[in-house]
Amino acid sequence: MKVLKILIFLFIFLSSLSVYAEESKFFVDRVVAIVNREVITWSELYKYMEFIAKEEIKNLNPDEKFKYFKAHEEEFLEKLIDTRLQIEEAERYGIFVTDAEIESAINDIKKKYGLTDEAFIETLKKEGMSFSDYKKMLKEQIIIGRTVNSLVRSKIVITDADINSYISAHPELVCDDEGYYVSQIFLKKRESEEELKEKLNEIFKRLIQGEPFSRVASQLSEDSSAKTGGAIGILKKREIASQLSSLFSKMSVGQISEPLMTEQGVFIFKLDGVCFKKGSVELTNYVRSIIEDERFKKDYKLWLRGLRQRAYIEIMD
């Protein structure tokens, strides 16, 4: 590896004496890791962090963004190493994605968010990313998805016995009629919109910081459900408004909704669980998906561990 390290040094010395883009006042490019025969530079890691953490950094100024990246550098580097290893594994198995498929994926994204070509490019610029960098990272994400589906997820086998055993261990999934276990936080209407906004900001700040929904509901909810930590029990699908049914059907268990404005006030919902009719196809499919996700997470970690064990990885000080 001595020859490789010398070549790496020359590469950095000759091509990276300048600082990276608009963040140049913060750092000079350098090698942060070696993965097999490839290097990862700080500038590559920085671009990766901007792509992965765009939601977390969108409201930060350059100084705050740099501090956030430095604080999470090790965590993101480990993820980037995993990305490199998975891309190499995809190449080994001949898994790829065409330029036409990338263009189609980008068009779907623009369509989803109602963006023109110009607006899309402008959005990327605001996030500090070039179009070519975005295409490269999107391509990698699609390739990794295909690789993982082919080499990990497709090998998961779930039997009827697995499903029946899971249902027996989770009787709350079975009910007389399909429904949702829900908790809520309710705020009454205010004459002052600013006061209501401040209250909502307080609620979501506490939730984002990890405070239990039940505690926030018991302290801040302005209806009788506050006494039960916001829990309102099961809501039968056929008995609730179509707007709520549509909302809950799109939520994952444990997910918290955006504020829902009504004539009475503002509701924030948390989906605590779901239930289905005994023996229904919906129950079987739901349980199958839960078991598959649980096994996938376990198998994916083992697969990644295997990739790392077979690889040469060196993280620079």
Classify domain 2-151 at the CATH class level: mainly alpha
Distance CA 257, CA 44 (A): 35
- Tokens 């996938």 belong to 296
Q: What is the average pLDDT across 99-110? A: 95
pLDDT at 183 over 90: yes
Where b means 16+ CB within 10 Å and e means fewer, 124-136 reads: beeebbeeebbee
pLDDT at 23 over 80: no
Question: Where in the chain are the domains?
Answer: 2-151, 175-275
CB under 8 Å to 261, separation ≥6 — which residues? none
pLDDT at 182 over 90: yes
Distance CA 243, CA 136 (A): 39
pLDDT digits over 81-90, tens only? 999 999 999 9
Distance CA 144, CA 102 (A): 13
Q: What CATH number is given for 175-275 in this structure? A: 3.10.50.40
Mean residue pLDDT across the chain: 89
- Check residue 19 and give its pLDDT: 38
- Check residue 13 and give its pLDDT: 39
Helices 117-126, 99-112: axis angle to 10 degrees equals 90
CB under 8 Å to 4, separation ≥6 — which residues? 34, 37
- Check residue 17 and give its pLDDT: 37
- Check residue 8 and give its pLDDT: 42
Q: Where are the alpha helices (DSSP H) in 250-280?
A: none
308 or 17, greater pLDDT: 308
pLDDT at 16 over 80: no
pLDDT at 301 over 60: yes
Distance CA 95, CA 87 (A): 9
pLDDT at 20 over 50: no
**% of the chain residues with pLDDT over 90:** 75
Q: What is the average pLDDT across 249-270? A: 95
pLDDT at 265 over 70: yes
Q: Using the Cα atoms of residue 104, residue 109, residue 111 and residue 117 in order, give the sign of their dihedral.
A: negative
Structure tokens at 7: 């070549």
Comparing CA positions, the residue from 73, 75, 79 lying closest to residue 35 is: 79
pLDDT at 133 over 80: yes
- Check residue 85 and give its pLDDT: 98
pLDDT digits over 60-88, tens only? 788 888 888 889 999 999 999 999 999 99
Which range, 6-15, 107-116, 120-129, is most confident?
107-116
Structure confidence at residue 28 as a pLDDT band (50, 70, 90): low
- Check residue 27 and give its pLDDT: 52
Q: What is the average pLDDT across 189-208? A: 91
